[in-house]
Chain A
Amino acid sequence: MLTLPAPLQLRLDNWLHRRLPVDTQITLDQGRIFIVPTRLSLGMLALVALLFMLGNLFQNTLAYSISFWLLALQIVSIFYTFRNLSGVRVKPAGNTPCFAGERATLRYRVSHANGRPVHNVVLGWKGQDAATVEVASGGENEIQLSYAAPQRGLLRPAKVEIQTRYPTGLAVAWSYLHFATETLVYPEPAAVLAQNTAQATECSDERGHANTQGVANFAGLRDYHPGDPLRRIHWGKYAQTGELYSKVFEDNQHEEFWLQWSAQQGDTEQRLSALCALVLQAHQGNERYGLRMPGADIAPDSSAAHRDACLRALALYPRDSAGA
């Protein structure tokens, strides 16, 4: 579609928003579906005109008939295409948070209000991602779409465009789905491991008692499970047996530490990135950690829900208005 000048685009968006209100589940009907002939239909009309000339110049009734038939096909196509989108029901089916710079995954469930089959319907965003969906008679289908998440925070994807050219491609029916979906985008985890360790050491001051990781409260060895941190691996045992064992710390649960906003360096975003990396690392290490930062004080825990709460707090930390 053509790009409009900004003020016009704004007015169009406002109008669309009024016309296609936000909803939790959208069933497409007359009021929501737009339909126009496609560029291909110009080709069809040219063919119709050509055949009309053929009929006229040679005064040939049957050539006229083919011309009229194709014209009727062009018009009937608009109805068929409309029908394919009419009654289509779309519902957001959850989404998975992601880290800034990745792509958020959004799921939508597509079905038909009357249980009719739905063919060749495309959902997506211009320049982002699009997927084709087919729904069998009386069925339901779920699709996943990805959406670029360049910044941490709450991502509100633009209105989803849904369109179809089924069956002839001579007409295109489309609509916009305004869902009130939001997905969390966590800060991008700081990448440098060396820095992490340095920060981790700084963090250790906050534990209340200084000790180095993996020495105290050593409880024994168990078989290595994929995902165990490297520093838990008992390398001496590995040298003896050639097999991997992980060290188990019995009272790890009691060992708590705080990840501190104040201990981080750099501007807000850098601090958030570093904290994000630390949260991930600590969670992977199955440690009890808390998060202390302006506006949030999350008591130490080690559950996945705790991790998510920490990441959420990081994601939603107010953005510097001045720009550090």
Chain B
Amino acid sequence: MLDRRNSLAEQINVSGLVWLLLAQLAVILPYTSATHLWVFPALAFSVGWRALALTGRVNRPNNLLKFLLVLIAFGGFAASNGLTLTLQSMVSLLLLAFAFKSIETDNRRDALVVIWVAYFLIAARFLFDQSIAAAVYGVVSMACVTTTLVAVQNPNSSGSIYSRLRLGVGMLLMCLPLMLMIFVTAPRLPPLWSVPDLSAGPQTGVSDSMTPGDIADLSQSANLAFRVAFESARPAQNELYWRGMVMSHFDGKTWRPFGEPVQDEQLRRLFNTELPQGEVKATAQSRQVDYELLMEPSGQPWLFTLASVSHTQPSTTLGFDYRALSDQKISSPSIYKVRSLLGSQRDLVLNPWVRELSLQLPAEGNEKTRQLAQQMRIASANAAEYVDRVMSRYTQEPYHYTLKPPTLGEVDTIDRFLFESLRGFCAHYAGSFVFMMRAAGIPARVVVGYQGGEWNAKERYFSVRQYDAHAWAEVWLADKGWIRFDPTARVAPNRVEQNLREAMREEGSFLDGSPFALSRYQWLTGVRQGWDAIQYRWRKIVINYDTESQVAFLTSLLGKLTSTKVAIAAGGSLLAIVLLWGYFLGLFQRGAPVPAQQKLYNSYERLLAKKKLPRDSGTTPAKHARDAAERWPALADPLRGFVADYDAICYRDGEASREQLRSMRAALRSLYRADWRLPVDANNT
């Protein structure tokens, strides 16, 4: 190799510096939402410094400044993060390193380090967001960083900033066929080792406790919670009760799953050993549905399923309260295949521990409600009648369904709701209903999840959004098991039959805190659904491309998969890709065709060069031939004749006649066969 000892230390030129700055900006920008706030002064400083360096006002920072910067940044890191390792903090650290490295980048080696980290950061951004928008942005950043690579590697090469962009983008486009091929065929292995769950991202969706008012907050968000695609016919809208959390413990104000906090891991162990899901018994009315849950990242492990799950994939755990827990927190979009038996019987015999849990009430408080429950229970012949009476009471009294309920204070919240305010949201109704049941000695529990969803007819799936969050009740009745009751449906039938928008039509409070949410505007429904369908396909086809979809896709292309078939297909497409590249890069292009006499002359020239008489660029063929004839007098005839023909064709006739070429060939042949030994001993001293 030619000497490149100093090439890594070579300075970057202006075009390289401009591109470095652009790449840096492009890479850092999307992290504004995903990283710690204190990183930004450092990032802004580094970008600003680069901009100043570009105008030549600053050069490398001196060591003291560098030391101070690192001290401040890492001090900030330690102070705000407490040195726990999360994905966010790791990315913040990487961003800091990236920012500091780029401050002092002025030679090629440093620039290459910055470019490599930039590529990594582009990919790492997808750990936070894999939406279409994020992907498109990733493509733009790739173009930026690749162009920077080209600019940095060719500082002396002519070419404008724009021409480098064209080259960078061109190269990336050229990569696409191969990239797609690798994407489709590369094996999708399960995680090689399990990473500690680093996603300390914010948890979204329903939480693991319910205080009346919580769900009203959720209802202000139009964010997607999950999508569901049904393989069988879809159930009716009012059957879509997506169970998430089950709350069995009430402390007088807040509902929680259990009396004390239970870690996910403990819960899984409990579900797997002592309290697994009971038998799911089919009845005459029950119906089996198969569906695919496309969960959005929630930072929580629970799945939202229809009661009750009869079959699910191995990576989930089913519990005594008929809910499904994923083995991991859902931190990236993931698909779960679930089979449910709608209308099945659950727990005809109630476990005593569960019975106790489902009858728990605080020792005191809400005395009026307790009295009412006693009276109504005495007036009812049996438990079922009592439940009906309590349900009917919500329609008989002037209860009002609202997203803006009045506050209920700290104590006797249920009394206040039932007898004073009469205004509430689903959490109020479900909570008060379960309280009434338990006060009458009937096991009952609150279920929190989502209700309904928007049907996308084009792609045949439901989108369930945060504003579909809902709370309802389950009551255990002898001979029937757990039965779902939704008092909200009595107060606001629209909410369950249609959706929240319809239920809130009068009040006008649907998403009134989010003026930019598309869901707010009904006239945009077509556009919104079209866009949602695209996102759904993106999720389903691209993001969730796994071994299973890989096999399905390849089978649909190739038929039954055999290793020979796959090898031939892969080899064939590789060849096709290489030919495509060759075509687009002009590698098959030939120069202008060389005329026959020129080919002959070239051979002749090569022959003479081999005999140590090369022709200088300044010597005419005729003079060259004379020189040769002088040296090898025996060969003078073929030499002179050959060149005379050549000259005549080139300078007189313009085009070669057949005779001329024939005589040239003959002369050349005789030259090839000739004896080239010099006539006299060449030892001329």
Interface pair A166/B154, CB less than 8 Å apart: yes
- The answer to whether residues A60 and B332 also contact, given A65-B183, A66-B142, A119-B154 and a CB cut-off of 8 A, is yes
Write the chain A residue with the least CB distance to B334: A59
Given A43-B116, A80-B585, A87-B591, residue A67 in contact with residue B157 (CB < 8 A): no
- Chain A contacts for B189, CB-based, 8 A: 56
Choose from B159, B183, B195, B334 the contact partner of A68 (Cβ within 8 Å): B183
Contact across chains for A72 and B178 when beta carbons are under 8 A apart: yes
Task: Select from chain A the residue with minimum beta-carbon distance to B177.
Answer: A72
User: A138 to chain B: which residues have CB within 8 Å?
Assistant: none
CA distance A59 to B191 in the complex (A): 7
**B564 lies within 8 A of chain A by Cβ:** no
Q: Which of A60, A113, A124, A134 contacts B126 (CB 8 A)?
A: A60
A22 and B2 CA atoms in complex are apart in Å by 21
Chain A interface: which size bin? Answer: 35 or more
A285 CB-CB contact with B under 8 Å: no
For A73, give its contact among B1, B146, B157, B167 (CB under 8 Å): B146
A238 within 8 A of B: no
A32-73 vs B, CB cutoff 8 Å, 1 = contact: the mask equals: 000000001001000100110111111111111111111111
Q: How far is the CB of A95 from chain B (nearest CB, A)?
A: 10
A168 contacts partner chain B, Cβ-Cβ < 8 Å: yes
In the complex, whether A92 has a CB less than 8 A from a CB of chain B is yes
**Chain A residues, CB < 8 A from B134:** 62
Given contacts A161-B2, A166-B154, A318-B685, contact A47 B581 (CB under 8 A): no
B616/A94 in contact, CB under 8 A: yes
Contacts of A58 in B (CB 8 A): 127, 191, 195, 331-332
B587 within 8 A of A: yes
Let me know if B395 is at the binding interface, CB within 8 A: no
**Selected contact of B192 from candidates A21, A57, A318, CB within 8 Å:** A57
The digit string for B1-18, where 1 denotes a CB below 8 A from any CB of A, is 111000000000000000
Task: List A contacts of B130 (CB < 8 A).
Answer: 60-62
Nearest CB of chain B from residue A296's CB, rounded to whole Å: 9
CB-defined contacts of A53 to chain B, threshold 8 Å? 192
Q: Are A166 and B172 in contact (CB under 8 A)?
A: no
A residues 68-91 near B (Cβ < 8 Å) are: 68-73, 75-77, 79-80, 82-83, 86-87, 91
Q: Identify the stretch in A125-133, A266-274, A299-307 within 8 Å (CB) of chain B at 4 or more residues.
A: A125-133
A24 lies within 8 A of B615 (CB): yes
Do residues B685 and A80 form an inter-chain contact, with CB atoms below 8 A? no
Query: Are B617 and A47 within 8 A (Cβ)?
Result: no
Contacts of A81-113 to chain B: CB distance below 8 A: 82-83, 86-87, 91-94, 113
Instruction: Say yes or no: is B179 at the interface (Cβ < 8 Å to chain A).
Output: yes
Contact of A232 with B by CB under 8 A? no
Q: How far is the CA of A64 from the CA of B123 in the complex (A)?
A: 8
Q: Which residue of A lies closest to B199 (CB)?
A: A58
**In the complex, are the beta carbons of B684 and A94 less than 8 A apart?**
no
Number of interface residues of B (CB under 8 A): 72
Pick from B582, B606, B684: contact of A23, CB below 8 A.
B606
Chain A residues lying within 8 Å of B182, measured Cβ to Cβ, are: 68, 71-72
Bound complex: CA A51 to CA B127 (Å): 11
A144-181 CB contact bits vs B (8 Å, 1 = yes)? 00000000000000000101011111001010000011
Given A68-B182, A94-B618, decide whether A60 and B127 contact each other with a Cβ distance below 8 A.
yes
Known contacts A43-B112, A294-B685, A295-B684: does B150 contact A120 (CB below 8 Å)?
no
Q: Is A1 an interface residue (CB 8 A)?
A: yes
Q: Which residues of B contact A114 (CB under 8 A)?
A: 586, 589-591
Give every chain A residue within 8 A of B542 (Cβ-Cβ). 61
Residues of chain A lying within 8 A (CB to CB) of residue B157: 119-120, 134, 166
Known A-B contacts: A54-B124, A60-B126, A60-B127. Give 13 more (CB < 8 A).
A51-B119, A59-B191, A65-B179, A72-B182, A79-B581, A114-B590, A130-B2, A132-B156, A167-B167, A167-B171, A168-B150, A168-B171, A169-B149
Q: Can you list 18 A-B contacts (CB < 8 A)?
A: A23-B609, A43-B112, A54-B123, A61-B543, A62-B126, A63-B126, A63-B127, A64-B188, A65-B183, A66-B126, A66-B138, A73-B146, A75-B175, A76-B175, A82-B587, A114-B591, A167-B150, A167-B171
